[in-house]
Every structure is written in structure tokens, then in C-alpha cells.
Amino acid sequence: AAWLRYGALPAEQAAAYSIKTVTVLGSHDETSPVASAVRELVDGVSKILGVTVSLTSDTSSLSTSIVVAIREDYLAAGNTLSASATDFLDHTDGYWVDPQKTLILGSDARGVLYGAFAYLSQLAQGTLSSTPFGSRPRAPVRWINQWDNMDGTIERGYGGRSLFFEGGRVVEDLSRVKEYARLMASIGLNGIVINNVNANPSLLSEECLSQGVKRVADTMRPYGVRIGLALNFDTPRTLGGLETSDPLDAGVVAWWGETTKRIYNHVPDMLGFTIKANSEGQPGPLSYGRTLAEGANMFAKALAPFGGFVFYRAFVYDHHLREDNPKNDRANAAVDFFAHLDDAFDDNVVVQVKFGPIDFQVREPVSPLLARLKRTKAVIEFMVAQEYMGQQSHAVYLAPEWKTILDFDMRVDGRPSLVRDILSPDGPFGWPVTGYTAVVNVGRDTTWLGHHLAMANLYAYGRLAWSPEAGARDLLDEWTRLTWGTDPVVVETVGNLLMDSWPAYEAHSGNLGIQTLCDILYTHYGPSPASQDGNGWGQWTRADQHGLGMDRTVATGTGFSGQYHPEVASLYENIETTPDDLLLWFHHVPYTHVLKSGKTVIQHFYDAHYEGAATVQTYPGRWEALRGKVDNARFEHVGFKLRYQAGHALVWRDSVCRFYHALSGIDDDKKRVGHY
């Protein structure tokens, strides 16, 4: 149920409502999102108000009915609309709710469903507006990428096995998939790529498409969720039996054309393809001496007749990079590989850019590529899966980190260019197709993500993809009220704890922009500052006995800072204007370098690690305040996880502090690290 629990309101509050029925205008079949909206309202209002609400076609008692309609059906019935309602209903997926008249209108079928969920959300939180309200998404692309493998495992999966696949095929029972589509729709998400970007060619076998992929699409469609597929570039060779997968080979082009047609036979509204190519050992156009654009455009041409899009990932980099060359820098890769191709991509290619230049670290600057493509459309990629962020064994609320990205001003051509505006059709580049995707690893675990508190991240992601200007704390409080109840003690406790969680995690893992400092060779979990350097993965810190940090300046370093537009470039080029929290991302400094705070870098490391770990130590005690206020099963489950996290934070603290103490030989002013 997650946040769709529809917990009952206190009786005296519920008594204020007189809803008995739901009435729909127009006719809609069972697979329409309008029908889902009606089912959701009947179920939700009944539970929240503790009454039995039913669907009726009798329009004589509208005063006690929720009236649900697509705008055109509402107008056809002789009604009129206010200018404010029209503002929202003029946009795809927009909705308008009038709580007084209990009227829910959508600009289209999906809009109706989103309006129904918005109404139910406010009703369940006890915060139903007394005046009419509307909303519309800032961006059309609001997607999820699952990294599910066909054998049922999930790459970076910490919430159980795949909901979609098992034993090389799509599972029989898709009831959890349906529940997932409901959750997605309730936060405004409208698309999902169901398989790992490290894609298995056999996904495209006729059996898998007709028996499996089609059923997944049919299951999610009533919730306004469309599916897309991640493809393996070499499929023509490995599955199709061709000699090559060269994107300019006529046979390969024809093969993709036919294959795409075959997919659309089964899934006529398929979104398109996501491509990870020439990345981490995956094949791609470069393997055939072709450009990335030639590779992307091959898929684009196959998809164009069906209105589909290629989401071509910008996560292309050399993972055998030589650290002995001080100019080498993995962070440069996205712009180096893609920026010069801005004019070369077909119209239905969208470049999918991870939010930071490296890889979902605890803190990164915004990927400069988001301000360097103009003609070519882009979407941002976030990660709800906590790969580097405690892997859902730690509670870490990520929305505050995402906000540092979304609210950042890229100063394109010297003008205001917030990332959240760039990712909107009404933004500086006017991309009609743009927005958001996030890697999510929901699995068969009853908690979905392996940790009840991790669900705040999924909730906030969907809500931010719809309204990127929303506040991290506001979204968290909504989620808490829906998930845990409206008791103010519960809302305060959960809210304060989770708002502390990203800063605390950063404090006891990697500070000052040095990256997360977890093991990067195998697990991406737990402290291992030594693992960053001495290998080709390029997540280097260049720590030695004198200092640490990557010199990414144009003047003396890798030149990365020069990938930004001039105002941002000069902000990061100069050590004086670089914010402390990204200092080591952009500059190599001695351990004794003095920060803006007045502390040395090394003392900051020690202090932050002790403070961060101390904050995490408070979590189990703070959670105790919820005993008896939430159900025992979830209370115990979270309590157990928080106690584990408190212990692991100490492991983090001591490993990182001792590592840098040994390397630098500099003692802790407060005599906690070292021998005294």
C-alpha cells in the first residue's frame, strides 16, 4: 500500500463530508485511466471517510457525489469553465479540482486520474483545500528506469527480486506490477523502462514480447503508465543472426525496422528505447567506427513511424583511464562525447544525462552537459536506488540533494537558467520533450524498496518530476502523513530525522566534494577511501601524504570547470569562490588548507565524521517516539534498520578518519583520531 493506505480520518473530521457516490461523465472502457480514477475514488473515499461509496449513473443527487470528467465531456454536458480551470486544463495531464462541488476534471484521461489522486491525497492528510485548485506537470517525461534482469535479479537491487522477470521471462502474476503502476500514477509518473540498461538481447524474442512485454504494458496502461525497453546494441548480431550490428549497415537498419514494428504490434503505445552503449563494456556504435549520433539515429529512424523516442544515455566513459596522466578526468566524458554532436541527432533522440558528471555520488556539481546541448533534447537521470547512498540499509532522504541540482543556475549565455527550467518545455531551450527519469529498484520485498523509509525517495522523486519547485520538507511531510499517519508527533519525528539524513550521511562518508568514499571496486557499499585511486574507473581523489582533491581547473588541472558557461566556470575555477562543499571536486589542496569556515580540511574531515556519526546515533532513540503511534510491524522493521545504521555510521567514521590520519600524519585537534 505504501503511501496509498487511505488511512481513516478521525470520525469527527470524516463527519464533515457527505459523499455517497461517484458519477462519471462520458463513456470510458475499463482500461481507461478514467476508470482507474473511479475505482480509486470509490475505494479511497470509502476507507478515508469510513462510509460505503459507490459508482452511480444517476445524476439526480450530484450534491452528494464526486463528479469526474474529462474536460470535453464536462463541457459537452452544458457546463462552463473558469479561466483558472482552463489554465490547467489546457495542458496535457493537467487537472482541476473543486472540493465544494466535489468536481474532478482532467484535460485528458490521465489528468482525471491525477486529479483523483490529488483529491484523495489531500483528503487522507486532512488537508483538503476549501477552494478550487489545479495543477499541471512542468515536464512531459516523468519516468522510471528499472535495472531488472530477465533472470529475476536486479542490478543494484536491494528490495528483493524483480516484479517483472524470473527465469528468463516475464512473470505470470503481474499483480504487484499493477500495484506499482498505481503508486506511480499517484505521484504523477507516466513511463517506465522495465529492464536493465545492461540489456539482454533475448528480451526481443517473439515469445518474450507476445507473452510477456505485452502483458506488462496492458497491466500498467490503465494507470496512464506507458512502458519502454532498454536495448542491447548488438542484438542484430546476437539474437538476429546477422554478421554485424553496424548502425550504417543496410541489413542492420532493416532488422531494427522490422523488430521495432514487431514490438509495436504488441505494445502500440510503447514509449521507445533506452540505450546504454559504449559504456562499461557494452557494445555501441564506436565499436563499429561510427559516431554516437549515427548509433542513436539508427534507433530513431526505426521508432519515428510509431512516434517513439530514443533515450540515449550520456553515461559514456572510458573505465580504463590512466591516473598517471593529470589531464585525464572521467568527469569530462559526457561533454567530450556529446556536446559537439548537438546538431547531429534526429528529432526523436533525447540524451539521458546523470545529474552529476560521475555517478550518483553523495554530492556532485550538476552535469555541465545539461547546459551544453541546445538543439538536442535531454532528460536528467536521478537515482532512487541508493547505490552509493547506503543501499536501503541506511535511511537517507535524497530530495534535498536533488534540489541542489534542480535549483542550480547554469547561466546559459549569461541568463537565468535553473536546471528545473531547462528540463521544461517552457524553459530556455524550449525542448518539447524533456524531463526526468530515475533508477528505481523496487522488488518483491513487502516494503517495495527494502526499507520503509526509502519510499520517501520514490514519493519525492515523482512529485519533483511533476513540480520541481516543490520543497523537500513539504514533500516529506505529505509522504509521512499518507504513509505513517497525521499525528503531529509522527510527522515531526519522521520529518526531522529524514531531513537530517543526507547531511549526516555526507558528513560520515565523503566531505567537501571528495565523492562518497565507499568501496568503488566491488560493492559500492561501506567505507573504502583507498579504493578510489589506483584503478581505471576514474573516481579519483588523488590523495597522498600532502593533500587531496582533483584539480579540475582550466589553469592547472583537467579543464572540467571550463565545460560550464563562463559565470559558473569562473565560480569553480577560483578556489576563493568554489563553495566548500565542492572544494575537493574542483581543487587539489594540502590537508592544512583553510576552509571558509576557518577549519583546515583535515580537521573538517575529523569533525564532520564525528558529528555525522553522532547524528546517526540519535536515530534509534528518536524513532522510539513513534512506539504505539504507528503499527508495530513497521515500527520494529524500521527500528532494526536504524540500529544497524547507527552502528555502521561508526564504522564509516573510524575507517575514514583513520585512513586520512595515517596518510596525512596530522593529528585531530580534539584528540579522537590518533594515539595520545
Q: Tell me which residues touch ligand GCW (CB under 6 A).
A: 147, 155-156, 197-198, 276, 315, 359, 387
Closest distance of CB 155 from ligand GCW, Å: 5
The phi, psi pair for 236, rounded to 5°, reads: -55, -35
Helices (H), 434-521: 455-466, 472-484, 488-508
CA pair distance 620, 124, nearest whole angstrom: 28
* Residue with smaller CB distance to ligand GCW, 198 or 535: 198
Alpha-carbon separation of residue 228 from 15, 225, 272, 273, 552 (angstroms): 45, 10, 5, 6, 37
SS (H, E, C) 554-600: CCCCCCHHHHCCHHHHHHHHCCCCCCHHHHHHHCCEECCCECCCCCE
SS (H, E, C) 388-442: CCCCCCCCCCCHHHHHHHHCCECCHHHCCCEHHHHCCCCCCCCCCCCEEEEEECC
CA pair distance 577, 580, nearest whole angstrom: 9
* Residue with smaller CB distance to ligand GCW, 166 or 387: 387
CA pair distance 373, 315, nearest whole angstrom: 15
Q: Strand, coil or helix: what is 264? A: helix
237: cell is: 548480431
* Residue with smaller CB distance to ligand GCW, 156 or 637: 156
**243, 269, 280, 624: which is the annotated catalytic residue?**
280
108: cell is: 485528458
* Residue with smaller CB distance to ligand GCW, 198 or 617: 198
Q: Which residues of 206-231 are buried (b: 16+ CB within 10 A; e: fewer)?
A: eebbeebbbbbbebbbbbbbbbbbbb
Whether 98 is catalytic is no
Amino acid type, 207: E
174: cell is: 503481474
**387, 401, 477, 607: which is the annotated catalytic residue?**
387
370: cell is: 545539461
* Residue with smaller CB distance to ligand GCW, 214 or 354: 354
CA pair distance 190, 195, nearest whole angstrom: 16
Whether 359 is catalytic is yes
CA pair distance 477, 481, nearest whole angstrom: 6
CA pair distance 494, 132, nearest whole angstrom: 30
**234, 359, 607, 668: which is the annotated catalytic residue?**
359
Strand-strand pairing, 141-146 and 191-193: parallel
* Residue with smaller CB distance to ligand GCW, 387 or 500: 387
Closest distance of CB 35 from ligand GCW, Å: 36
* Residue with smaller CB distance to ligand GCW, 72 or 155: 155
Whether 280 is catalytic is yes
The phi, psi pair for 543, rounded to 5°, reads: -80, 130
Return the closest-CA partner of residue 141 out of 380, 338, 306: 380
Contacts of 478 (CB under 8 A, 6+ apart): 121, 125, 459, 463
Task: Determine the residue with CB nearest ligand GCW.
Answer: 359
Contacts of 629 (CB under 8 A, 6+ apart): 485, 487, 489, 490
* Residue with smaller CB distance to ligand GCW, 141 or 316: 316
Closest distance of CB 198 from ligand GCW, Å: 5
* Residue with smaller CB distance to ligand GCW, 387 or 477: 387
The phi, psi pair for 311, rounded to 5°, reads: -100, 100
Q: Is the Cβ–Cβ distance between 463 and 187 less than 8 Å?
A: yes
Closest distance of CB 455 from ligand GCW, Å: 21
Alpha-carbon separation of residue 396 from 247, 422, 518, 666 (angstroms): 42, 27, 15, 31
* Residue with smaller CB distance to ligand GCW, 156 or 178: 156
CA pair distance 335, 368, nearest whole angstrom: 7
Closest distance of CB 276 from ligand GCW, Å: 5
Cite the active site residues: 280, 359, 387
